[in-house]
Structure 1
Amino acid sequence: MAAVGPYGVRPGHALITMVEPHPGHEYAYNRWYEDDHYYAGAMAMPWMSAGRRWVATKDLQELRYPETSAVAQPVGTGCYLSTYWVTEGRYDEHMKWTVAINKRLNRDGRVYRGRTHVFTAFQDHEATVYRDGAAGPRDFHALDHPYEGLVLQVVDAEGPEGRAELLEWLRSRHLPERLKGSPTALVTVFRPTPLPGDRMTYVKQVEGVETRLTLLWFLQEDPRACWDAHFAGLGAAVAEAGLGRVELVAPFIPTVPGTDLYVDRLR
């Protein structure tokens, strides 16, 4: 398995999963995820090179838009976000391991039931746009670098044939202009892939496989400090370009591993 095939450092694929713990289960869910699932159900898998958890406290949830979202109903649902990089070209091998291990964890009673998957998908990397060119951390550093915030943006093209045009506009025009002088160091762009047929039954099949793009904005300051100036208008910019519709813009801050910091600020 390791003697041949790709073994670069580029994040060719990602697992992006936004989850809502059920009311009253916030502390138990957080401890299960950090103490067990983050490692046994994700980071221990072959070819998963980096991971990071993020949280949206109540005040961050209230910044989200649009109010009517195809991703989260209501739009504030999904207060925890986990992001993972998978080595380029190793998606199929990784998936065989992760499906098998998560089935085993389920059989062994190590899957926490008191939560709902709001937005969970493996995704293929399409582009990374940097504010400072060749200077600064690269995308493969992004989940290890101490960024102070992350914004998840989900955009749907008008149809399958329009996604390539949307991607090119984002990569060559919109993102370079938005990043100038901003607190965002880099933006990664992904497209979702279907989950395998033998996925866990509590994870719904991915929507928007033919039309959707997922953007992760990595911030050097708390998103609350720069929201109005840099993020409140993302939906309007896409609409004005006539290339699609923003289905979610959601800010997060990093969790502090091994603690329950922010759990009491989710509701």
Structure 2
Amino acid sequence: MSDDDTRTELYAELAAVGPYGTRPGHALITLVEPHPGHEYAYNRWYEDDHYYAGAMAMPWMYAGRRWVATRDLQLLRYPEKSAVAQPVTTGCYLSTYWITAGRYDDHMRWTVAINKRLNRDGRVYHDRTHVLTAFQDHEATVYRDGAAGPRDVHALDHPYAGLVLQVVEAGTPEQRPQLLEWLRSRHLPKRLAGSPAAMVTVFRPTPLPGDRMTYVKQVEGVDTRLTLLWFLQADARACWETFFTGLDTAVGESGLGRVELVAPFVPTVPGTDRYVDRLR
């Protein structure tokens, strides 16, 4: 079969069956470190090609947003000894994508195949390290203002001023449901009240397929971790001390787990190299 054969006749069949709601049932969350000296080239490759050909053009991936951590934002991260990033400042760029609920398997079949094709065609930038790359299942969304304001389906399109990535690890796999319930019903509502964070989405990681690209390592903590995305209406630097320090203490005192990463970001400006000169 040639590259020109798009098998158009199959599209009507595929569109007529299966889930097609708007809920973000799954996510791709990927934290990447471009190698020193490759920051500009990596940013242009990702924005001009990979964000589209390697993500948004795929079936069932319907929203995306890139975020960046300048050096001053990197220095706010904790804990110093992180199981996610070594050193904890590693990972300048974060990309987040929503995938339609119930379409994870369909999307994975496409993404594995297209990334193999992109790699074969010389359209993968290899001078980078995947710090944390995982497809994740949605577990909960907690809102600061109840029914008012944007929903999680809008989160990657709404012009939020910043994002905080938090990774928590349950003490045991059996404790993760308890940790999730504590976060959802007690900890997050209390932390969100009066804060600049409009919502927090909570995900749990899933294993990557065995035929994944070899430069992406297998996901750790699939039985114990939870990934939280805090969507901010203010720059994290302006509210960090008041609202985002001590998250590790709170989780530790619950007796249900520990924090492995708390990391702030600002949104990139598509089509520009803004912030690239402030990564080191």
TM bin, normalised by shorter chain, reads: over 0.9
**Which of residues 115, 137, 154 is equivalent to 1:124?**
137
- How many residues end up aligned between the 2 structures? 267
What's 2:162 paired with?
A: 149
Aligned mates of 1:241, 1:117 — CA distance in 2: 31
For residue 12 of structure 1, what is the aligned residue in structure 2? 25
Report the TM-score, using the length of structure 1 for normalisation. 1.00
1-structure distance, mates of 2:46, 2:271: 10
Describe the SS at the equivalent of 1:251: strand
Determine the C-alpha separation between the residues in 2 that align with 1:228 and 1:181: 14
Match of 2:11 in 1: none
User: Counterpart in 2 of 1:262?
Assistant: 275
Matching residue within 52, 61, 77 for 2:74: 61
Match of 2:122 in 1: 109
Q: Is 1:209 paired with 2:222? A: yes
Alignment partner, residue 180 of structure 2: 167
Partner residue, 1:44: 57
Q: CA deviation at 1:245?
A: 0.6
Identity of aligned residues (%): 85
Letter aligned with residue 109 of structure 2: K
C-alpha displacement at 1:2, in angstroms? Answer: 1.7
Letter in 2 for 1:42: A
State the 4+ residue runs in structure 1 displaced beyond 6 angstroms: none
Deviation at 1:4, TM superposition (A): 1.3
Q: Secondary structure at the match of 2:15?
A: coil
Structure 1 residue matching 2:214: 3-state secondary structure: coil
What is the Cα-based RMSD across aligned positions, in Å?
0.3
**TM-score, normalization by structure 2:** 0.95
For residue 37 of structure 2, what is the amino acid of its counterpart?
G
Q: Structure 1 unaligned runs (5+)? A: none
- Is residue 2:231 matched to residue 1:242? no
CA distance in 2, matches of 1:112, 1:77: 18
- 2-structure distance, mates of 1:180, 1:150: 17
Q: How far 1:213 moved relative to its partner?
A: 0.1
1:222, CA displacement in angstroms? 0.1
Residue deviations 1:66-93, cap 9 Å, x none?
0000000000000100000000000000
Query: Does 1:187 find its partner at 2:200?
Result: yes
Deviations 1:197-216 (A, max 9, x none): 00000000000000000000
**Counterparts of 1:152 and 1:106 in 2: how far apart (Å)?**
29
Q: Which has the larger radius of gyration?
A: 2
* 3-state SS of 1:176 partner: helix
Which amino acid is 2:134 matched to? Answer: A
2:230 and 2:157 map into 1 onto residues whose CA distance is 14
| Correspondence for 1:138 among 137, 147, 151 | 151
Aligned to 2:265: 252
Aligned AA (1:66): P
- AA matched with 1:59: D
